[in-house]
Amino acid sequence: MENEKFAELEKKVRVLIDEYQVLKRRNVDLEMVLKQKEGELAEANGRSRELMEEKDAVREKVDSLLHLLHEIPS
């Protein structure tokens, strides 16, 4: 009777250990994916900043040209 209880308890502990190991590996995998996505996001944010700066520079040039055109006497 006691041996059966210990055997059952041992089986449950082994199952828990197996599940823990699976979850631990999954956690490591998810951490790697998260780091990759964080890198991609940082890269996208940098590119977005560059594009906004470029857009602002183009807008300034266009505004400058429009101002020059308005100064031309008709």
pLDDT at residue 2, rounded to an integer? 83
Residues 21 and 14: their CA atoms lie apart, in Å, by 11
pTM equals 0.67
Question: Which tens digits make up the pLDDT trace of 7-24?
Answer: 999 999 999 999 999 999
pLDDT at residue 73, rounded to an integer? 84
Q: Taking every pair of C-alpha atoms in the chain, what is the biggest distance, in angstroms? A: 109
Q: Give the position of tokens 């990759």.
A: 36
Residues 65 and 61: their CA atoms lie apart, in Å, by 6
9 conformational bin, left if phi > 0, alpha if psi -120 to 50, beta if neither: alpha
Show me where the domains of the chain are located: 1-74
> What is the H or E stretch that residue 7 is in?
helix 2-71
